[in-house]
């Protein structure tokens, strides 16, 4: 069955003309991510996009009803995402939709709502080398990437990262400054899987990196729904909905 | 150091005169819980209470600043709890306050916000016997209670219970109908500990039960802050706050 | 790729003529389990068997090298399994082979070695009804079985079950006597997956039960190796072997 | 109640006169660890030692019966530890004794038996700087140490570290070469707690480092038995022993 992936991007850095961002992502970060997914998943997936300034942020009931896996990239406009759409996305995850949250999306309303913590972290943007080490070599998300993945220049994200104890830890990153970060962690929330992956600042061409593209493609397949996705009808209660 | 415990109760069943509830808890569920904690913890704790109809639900900034451990009982008025107070409680848990959520509090805004799931479950109120089995015999919360605790009459709470994978499971309950429930589960959220304990319907005198009182007293001490509790100042960012 | 499954059975109750066991499993427990797997997995799997009294218990280096998933049933002859074969099986799990341990196999040398605990539990054989509840409704091992699975007559296995905290809990069982048991739990050990499933005493026809057969077939596919299985050469060290 | 700590050291490097080891630890690694514990825990603990060449490795039934917390340091003589003593230590952990395994003790028979994995890792001894980051700032084991702890020169231990998914992760280390390691991880096995802490090679004066000494003292108190320690009598079965 074809996986219906939607890549959501805030799309603000690019449209307001931040020079280095536009150089890396002339058509938007979502475009580059979507292209990577299409390239690697081929006809196993159809990939569409959505952005903040579209009506309902491009995430109407109808759009979400046709989404199996949602990628989320946001940074400077988290507060502009409407609470209604946030609730809709969270509900859909609970019903089984997969969610991949990227980089500064750790501070998105959606991720914080699903985690129940502040999701704060340490950071420093000095264009340092990041190494992404696999600590779960048998995990499908780590398939086909070197140990470590080497990203020449990156923003540093460091511990303490205020997240719940992960259900699974797949990647740990180190930075030139010596910091460490839990850069690839997975959770279940309701019937849905959530994967957070930190590499990917707007100022560096991280989403062009072939190993990072591989991780994102692996992640899309791994968070894919394992149950038939459906929507609650008015007279249904979640307790009837999960199990008979 | 004396533990400052506050027992929050919705206090609606009792004040509107639900007969059986008033018989079990003439001065309110909070009063019986507080008495049990005082009896068992003695001068290791000071116990106060708060209820929904008080100003700011009895949970002003000042009140919370003097609370190390908060108990939460709610059932039919979850929606009346203001979002501002919910946020305040959640922030305080992130800063290290302990939280014990009881019975139908699984559907409280506070618990759902900390869990990130629907927290739905199955239920049936037929006054059935509940057995509470210890599956972590070395855990301080299970100290001094029989295996199983026997509650003669109870509302059934059953799986599927839509919660994140617990950090620790301490109790599992079974019911006369054959159902099972993860009735004692623990989480960390930020610097704070959260313990959910399901026994305790308003229609049965569960909080008078000596073993249940023992569990609540144990829980109060176990969720107690392990860091010095402080409040963010205006110019602090959580990432500075957690670790230096 | 066809999954190569091997069902190992102690095969002592049957061959010494325990009447009720012979009635339930005239050709051995392994035969009934293997038939169920063949029936449900069809050409996705080839199923063979091995038993204690065969040379090297039917688990020679060659036999294991052709095994992707091993089922393990044992009860009264755990001590007769040679330490050399135990080590071989454990090594193979570390290298990625899937292992499904059944019922009284909780006390097998193989399982205890992989768990690092006593694996003790409570039991009582009174032919009571067992209900097997799903607490991970999205898990592939639970796919297609009712909630709960009903087993008319069974030996009771109860808590405290002395196992490490499971990586995943899929099933909880309750019994007529009111006991509870973590009856379906999963672990990773090295590159391999381990699933323990408690239903299945020799005195009851549990492995003929269609829902139990479904769980076993699901489990076989779920524990299947996610990495290419290989064998260490003489000059390799495990640290070279796991990741490059 | 005074905590009875015993520090076990292989004590081979020192006694065969490895120059740099003797300079760092003239009276043995165990002596320096024991002194640190005595200094920091004062009259909350009594600290004794035991070494490989003593009768029964200094770990007779009587010695263990008077031990609440055991530290374990070994490196080049793991195979010389008798299986009988290993079983005795493992049994004692199951009964509730705390165990702190240090550095190359990851390959000890005791640790491998409790983990059920190969416990292999990557290493390189180039005297690199190690930074030990706290990822559980509320954890008692991390109390009072800087973030990060800085160790000027150390052997590198790196991922993949083949251990079961930890119950709790407290420290992550990074090295000058960019590697990462889960350097402080905790488990429960039976009624006992196990903490593995990797800093501490024999060639560097790591156990003289005040922050490392603080971690070891914290760890001793954290793994301390939470149940009354007792020994199985001949007619007891573990299932009677854990819970009544």
Tens digits of residue pLDDT in D33-85: 999 999 999 999 999 999 999 999 999 999 999 999 999 999 999 999 999 99
What is the reported pLDDT for A242? 40
Of B149-158, D70-79, D107-116, D226-235, the one with minimum mean pLDDT is D226-235
Q: Which chains would you list as touching B if contact means 3+ CB atom pairs under 8 Å?
A: A, C, D
The DSSP secondary-structure symbol of A160 reads P
Q: What is the pLDDT of residues B131-163, one digit of tens each?
A: 999 999 999 999 999 999 999 999 999 999 999
pLDDT in tens, A77-99: 999 999 999 999 999 999 999 99
* pLDDT interval class at D10 (50, 70, 90): very high
B239 confidence band (pLDDT: 50, 70, 90): very low
Asked if the Cβ–Cβ distance from A137 to C227 is below 8 Å, we say: yes
In the structure, what pLDDT confidence band is assigned to residue B84 with cuts at 50, 70 and 90?
A: very high
CA–CA min distance A91, chain D (Å): 29
Alpha-carbon distance A243 to nearest alpha carbon in chain C (angstroms) = 7
Q: What CATH number labels D3-115+183-242?
A: 3.40.50.880
The confidence score (pLDDT) of residue C1 equals: 79
Residues of B in Cβ contact (< 8 Å) with D227: 137-138
- The CATH number fitting domain C3-116+184-242, selected from 3.55.40.20, 3.40.50.880, 3.90.105.10, 3.40.50.970: 3.40.50.880
Average pLDDT, chain A: 93
Do residues B142 and B172 touch, judged by C-beta distance below 8 A? no
Q: Residue-wise pLDDT tens for chain C (244 aa)?
A: 799 999 999 999 999 989 999 999 999 999 999 999 999 999 999 999 999 999 999 999 999 999 999 999 999 999 999 999 999 999 999 999 999 999 999 999 999 999 999 999 999 999 999 999 999 999 999 999 999 999 999 999 999 999 999 999 999 999 999 999 999 999 999 999 999 999 998 999 999 999 999 999 999 999 999 877 655 444 444 344 443 3
Question: Where on the phi/psi map is residue B11: left (φ > 0), alpha (ψ -120 to 50), or beta?
Answer: left
* Closest by CA position to D220, among listed D2, D10, D54: D2
pLDDT band of residue D238 (cuts 50, 70, 90) is: very low
pLDDT at position D229 is 66
CA atoms within a 13 Å half-sphere pointing along the CA-CB vector of D100: 33
Name the phi and psi angles at B156, rounded to 5. -85, 130
Contacts of A122 in chain B (CB under 8 A): 239
Residue C53 CB neighbour total at 10 angstroms: 12
A148-153: average pLDDT? 95
Question: Can you say how many angstroms the Cα of residue D2 is from the centroid of all Cα atoms in its chain?
Answer: 20
**CATH code of the domain made up of A3-116+182-242:** 3.40.50.880
Closest Cβ opposite residue C174 in set B135, B178, B182: B178
pLDDT given at position B23:
95
Residue whose entry in the numeric block shows the structure tokens 């006593």: C118
CB-nearest to A180 from D129, D168, D174 is: D174
Cβ atoms of A223 and A98 within 8 Å: the answer is: yes
Between D133, D137, D165, which is nearest A180 by CB?
A: D133
Through-space distance between the first and last CA atoms of chain B, rounded to whole angstroms: 25
Class of the B3-116+183-242 domain? alpha beta
pTM for this model (two decimals) = 0.95
CB contact under 8 A, B148 and C173: no
Q: What is the pLDDT of residue C236?
A: 46
Q: What number is the ipTM of this complex?
A: 0.94
> How do D45-51 and C149-158 pair as beta strands?
unpaired
pLDDT exceeds 60 at position A9: yes
The minimum CA-CA distance between D40 and chain A, rounded to whole Å, is: 27
> What is the average pLDDT across B120-140?
94
Q: What's the farthest any 2 CA atoms get from each other in chain C? A: 55
Task: Judge: C242–D117 Cβ closer than 8 Å, yes or no.
Answer: no
Mean pLDDT of B7-21: 95
pLDDT band at D243 (very low <50, low <70, confident <90, very high): very low
Residue A131 has pLDDT above 80, yes or no: yes
Distance from CA of A17 to the nearest CA of D (A): 35
**CA distance readout (Å), D168 to A119, B104, B185, C79, D6:** 19, 29, 16, 34, 24
Tell me which residues of chain C have a C-beta less than 8 Å from any C-beta of chain D.
90, 94, 113-118, 120-123, 159-160, 162, 164-165, 167, 187-190, 237-239, 242-243
């Amino acid at each position: 069955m074809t996986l219906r992936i939607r890549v959501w991007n805030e799309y603000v850095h690019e449209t307001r003309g931040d020079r280095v961002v536009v150089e890396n992502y002339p058509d938007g970060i979502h475009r580059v991510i979507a292209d990577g997914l299409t390239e690697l998943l081929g006809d196993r997936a159809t990939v569409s996009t959505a952005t903040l300034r579209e009506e309902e942020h491009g995430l109407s009931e109808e759009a979400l009803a046709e989404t199996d896996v949602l990628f989320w990239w946001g940074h400077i406009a988290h507060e502009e995402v409407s609470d209604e759409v946030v609730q809709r996305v969270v509900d859909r995850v609970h019903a089984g939709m997969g969610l991949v949250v990227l980089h500064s999306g750790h501070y998105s309303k959606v991720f914080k709502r699903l985690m129940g913590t502040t999701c704060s972290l340490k950071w420093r943007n000095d264009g340092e080398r990041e190494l992404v080490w696999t600590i779960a070599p048998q995990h499908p998300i780590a398939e086909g990437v070197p140990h470590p993945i080497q990203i020449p220049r990156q923003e540093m994200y460091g511990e303490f990262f205020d997240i719940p104890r992960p259900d699974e830890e797949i990647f740990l990153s180190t930075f030139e400054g010596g910091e460490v970060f839990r850069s690839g962690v997975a959770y279940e929330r309701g019937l849905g899987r959530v994967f957070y992956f930190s590499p990917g600042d707007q100022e560096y061409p991280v989403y062009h990196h072939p190993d990072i593209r591989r991780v994102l493609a692996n992640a899309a397949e791994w968070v894919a729904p394992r149950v038939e996705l459906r929507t609650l009808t008015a007279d249904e209660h979640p307790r009837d909905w999960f199990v008979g």
